[in-house]
Amino acid sequence: MSTPNPPDHRPHTRRAPTQSMLYDRILPLLFIVLGLVMTTLIVIAAAVLLGLIQYR
């Protein structure tokens, strides 16, 4: 016995509009930039904890 889908629910459909600059260009670029910033902060924090960078 399968579970019924709501009438307007279509599986495997794309919710974002096609040719959307926000979802195709800006959002992936934003995720990459945020990942680089996070990685930089983690490396700096580790360097401070290991004493490679003097703090105060």
DSSP, residue by residue, 3-43: PPPPTT--TT---SPTT-HIIIIIHHHHHHHHHHHHHHHHH
Sequence-distant (6+) residues with CB within 8 A of 5 are 11
> What pLDDT shows up at residue 7?
63
Domain span at residue 31 reads 20-49
Domain presence at residue 33: yes
> What pLDDT shows up at residue 47?
96
Q: What angle do CA 35, 38, 41 make, to 5 degrees?
A: 150
Q: pLDDT at residue 1 above 70?
A: no
Domain presence at residue 26: yes
**What digits encode the pLDDT tens for the residues 22-56?**
888 999 999 999 999 999 999 999 999 999 999 88
Domain presence at residue 34: yes
> Could you give the number of structural domains in the chain?
1
Contact 55, 48 (CB under 8 A): yes
**What digits encode the pLDDT tens for the residues 28-37?**
999 999 999 9
